[in-house]
Amino acid sequence: MRAPPLQYPLLLLLLLLTSAYSWKKEEFRNCNQTPFCKSARSRKPGSCNLRATDVSISDGDLIARLVPKEENPESEQPNKPLTLTLSVYQDGVMRVKIDEDQNLNPPKKRFEVPEVIEEDFLNTKLWLTRVKEEQIDGDSSFSSVIYLSDGYEGVLRHDPFEVFARENGSGKRVLSINSNGLFDFEQLREKKEGDDWEERFRSHTDTRPYGPQSISFDVSFYGADFVYGIPEHATSLALKPTRGPNVEEYSEPYRLFNLDVFEYLHESPFGLYGSIPFMISHGKARGSSGFFWLNAAEMQIDILGSDWNSNKSSKIMLPSDKHKIDTLWMSEAGVVDTFFFIGPGPKDVVRQYTSVTGRPSMPQLFATAYHQCRWNYRDEEDVYNVDSKFDEHDIPYDVLWLDIEHTDGKKYFTWDRILFPNPEEMQKKLAAKGRHMVTIVDPHIKRDESYHIHKEASEKGFYVKDATGKDYDGWCWPGSSSYTDLLNPEIRSWWSDKFSLDSYVGSTKYLYIWNDMNEPSVFNGPEMPNRVACCPIRLKL
């Protein structure tokens, strides 16, 4: 039957939407296209070649060297010792750091994420004064055991190298690193003739001047039935196995890599907007424990199903406790800076975790009410019309949001004075009804010499640099854009001042800010679908 003429526009619209929003997996890297992930997944249990030596107490920490058991003449890695530091804090938190030995003068300092750990947390450090030695699981060598909290101990197993927390008395493990011997740490090195360190995807190339520097290790949660966390993904809250029996051979790990993703697959480990390397376990046998890796590099995490390592040859004696969940953590770079949270309840783990990274602030009361937001409001008249219709139909709402089109040419902290000539009066009129206005601010700055924020940031050298040392030039909503280096405290202070009433001309005390696109979003990046396909379709319903 021929469709009636009135259905033609709807059919055309459906085809356009299907074309615009269809999933394009080839535009995103998978594990096999990511060298550090592919390499880590190929490692066999027991392949870690490190043992702990020279264990001592220094400045209240347990310090050890991780050295190869035997030299591998075919290895491209320099067999230099690593430094392990184990620290204990109040409320059952154990911190394990592993880095290159700085006394051996590596080519550069590896990146560590600054200013995340709360100062108050650092002040809760328990100063270790002694360590006891104990033989564990029939090992020929001793292990180092330290006090963690009432009822719990921290253990550094020397050979095979392993770090775990256990219950005092019963000796039952709670949480461990490297119980399956999958630890690997690629050290920085000088480039030799013939070395090809470049990493390519589509039209983009990463030169990697200091070579590959990936880190991977297994983490085991004992007494666990489920693990949760590592947001954000479009799948169940309880994380499903990505490797093991009854899992597809080419399944992907959970990816932690911030992307501005407007199209994605349901029930997929594909990473979305946020990446927080924090995982929490829960089970009937024990309760909860948690693990956090302070690392900002791209990360992939496998949830290993039961019997994942069956039918694999292994020289390592794996723990006999099978009631646990094994995971594999893989990162492109950084250092090992991990935190063990022993729980034992979910609330305990959350309390321990937030003591490290900070407690969330309570939102304003109006933030929990109904917000009216769309892309976009045409002008002030449009705002007043929408506001009045809510009153006319007796629909309560507390907040009205303005997207990017309210600005002067997508220059944030500005107003289009033709379409929004009286922003202060508009905000006050909403406030008189007990309502608030929110405007958007994005981190990309339009490269326009007439734009005061761009001019100031450029003159002060506040932009992120590219590999050549020039201001990075990416593409986002305003077109050619640069991004301020918010790892720099001076730049953060400068940026925060732009939100003040004095700096943000046209703002009032009734105005609130929507910080968007902080993945950060770069439309011409290596993994960014062409947004041009989505933009021409604007529906006014």
Q: What is the pLDDT of residues 13-65, one digit of tens each?
A: 444 444 444 567 778 889 999 999 999 999 999 999 999 999 999 999 999 99
Is residue 207 very low, low, confident or very high in pLDDT (cuts 50, 70, 90)? confident
pLDDT single digits (tens) 87-145? 999 999 999 999 999 988 888 999 999 999 999 999 999 999 999 999 998 888 899 99
Query: Closest by alpha carbon to 147, among 107, 187, 88, 93?
Result: 88
Query: Closest by alpha carbon to 452, among 412, 480, 486, 406?
Result: 412
What per-residue confidence (pLDDT) applies to 437?
97
Query: What mean pLDDT, rounded, does the chain reach?
Result: 89
The whole-angstrom separation of Cα 274 and Cα 277 is 10
Q: Tell which phi-psi region holds residue 181, choosing left (phi > 0), alpha (psi between -120 and 50) or beta.
A: left
What per-residue confidence (pLDDT) applies to 65?
97
Q: Does the pLDDT value for residue 302 go beyond 80?
A: yes
pLDDT single digits (tens) 430-449? 999 999 999 999 999 999 99
- Which tokens sit at 148? 């963690």
Q: Does the pLDDT value for residue 362 go beyond 50?
A: yes
- Would you give the end-to-end CA distance of the chain in angstroms? 29
- Secondary-structure breakdown of the chain: helix, strand, coil percentages, each rounded to the nearest 5: 20, 30, 55
Is residue 234 very low, low, confident or very high in pLDDT (cuts 50, 70, 90)? confident
Q: Does the pLDDT value for residue 538 go beyond 70?
A: no
pTM, whole model, 2 decimals? 0.89
Is residue 185 very low, low, confident or very high in pLDDT (cuts 50, 70, 90)? very high
Residues 6 or more apart whose Cβ sits within 8 Å of residue 408: 414, 415, 416, 417
Look at the alpha carbons of 473, 474, 478, 482 in this order and tell me if their dihedral is positive or negative: negative
- Which tokens sit at 223? 């007494």
pLDDT single digits (tens) 152-175? 999 999 999 999 999 998 999 999
Q: Does the pLDDT value for residue 373 go beyond 90?
A: yes
Facing residues of 441 across strands?
Answer: 515
**Helices 423-431 & 380-392 angle (0-180, nearest 10):** 10
Q: Does the pLDDT value for residue 532 go beyond 90?
A: no
The whole-angstrom separation of Cα 237 and Cα 267 is 11
Q: Does the pLDDT value for residue 537 go beyond 70?
A: no
Residue type, 539: L
Q: What does the pLDDT average to over 54-79?
A: 83
Which 8-state DSSP code applies to residue 398?
A: -
Question: Do the Cβ atoms of 54 and 85 come closer than 8 Å?
Answer: no
What per-residue confidence (pLDDT) applies to 405?
95
What per-residue confidence (pLDDT) applies to 78?
58
**What are the backbone angles phi and psi of residue 533, rounded to the nearest 5°?**
-65, -25
Residues 6 or more apart whose Cβ sits within 8 Å of residue 105: none
pLDDT single digits (tens) 446-492? 999 999 999 999 999 999 999 899 999 999 999 999 999 999 999 99
Q: Does the pLDDT value for residue 540 go beyond 90?
A: no
The whole-angstrom separation of Cα 212 and Cα 430 is 55
**What are the backbone angles phi and psi of residue 93, rounded to the nearest 5°?**
-120, 130
Question: Do the Cβ atoms of 144 and 136 come closer than 8 Å?
Answer: no
Question: Do the Cβ atoms of 370 and 75 come closer than 8 Å?
Answer: no
The whole-angstrom separation of Cα 178 and Cα 186 is 16
**What are the backbone angles phi and psi of residue 33, rounded to the nearest 5°?**
-95, 5
DSSP string spanning 39-104?
Answer: HHHTPPTT---EEEEEEEEETTEEEEEEEESS--TT-SS----EEEEEEEETTTEEEEEEEE-GGG
What per-residue confidence (pLDDT) applies to 22?
55
Q: Which of 224-233, 250-259, 491-500, 517-526 has the highest mean pLDDT?
A: 491-500
What per-residue confidence (pLDDT) applies to 399?
97
What per-residue confidence (pLDDT) applies to 28?
87
What per-residue confidence (pLDDT) applies to 382?
97
Enumerate helices (H) and strands (E) in the chain, giving the number of each.
Answer: 8, 28
Question: Do the Cβ atoms of 121 and 95 come closer than 8 Å?
Answer: no
The whole-angstrom separation of Cα 503 and Cα 494 is 11
The whole-angstrom separation of Cα 27 and Cα 526 is 8
Query: Closest by alpha carbon to 221, among 287, 128, 316?
Result: 287
The pLDDT > 70 percentage for the chain reads 89
Residue type, 238: A
Full 3-state SS string of 114-181: CCCCCHHHHCCEECCCCCEEECCCCCCCCEEEEEEECCEEEEEECCCCEEEEEECCCCCEEEEECCCC
What per-residue confidence (pLDDT) applies to 75?
59
Residues 6 or more apart whose Cβ sits within 8 Å of residue 57: 63, 128, 129, 130, 131
The whole-angstrom separation of Cα 513 and Cα 323 is 47
Question: Do the Cβ atoms of 236 and 269 come closer than 8 Å?
Answer: no
The whole-angstrom separation of Cα 289 and Cα 65 is 27
Q: Does the pLDDT value for residue 313 go beyond 70?
A: no
What per-residue confidence (pLDDT) applies to 195?
84
- Of the two residues 235 and 399, the one the predictor is more confident about is 399
**Exposure string over 47-58, b if 16+ CB within 10 A, otherwise e:** ebbbbbeebebe
Long-range Cβ pairs for the range 360-369 (8 Å, 24+): 366/398, 366/399, 366/436, 367/399, 369/396, 369/397, 369/398, 369/399
Q: Does the pLDDT value for residue 512 go beyond 60?
A: yes
The whole-angstrom separation of Cα 510 and Cα 428 is 7
Rg (CA), the chain: 27
Q: Does the pLDDT value for residue 72 go beyond 80?
A: no
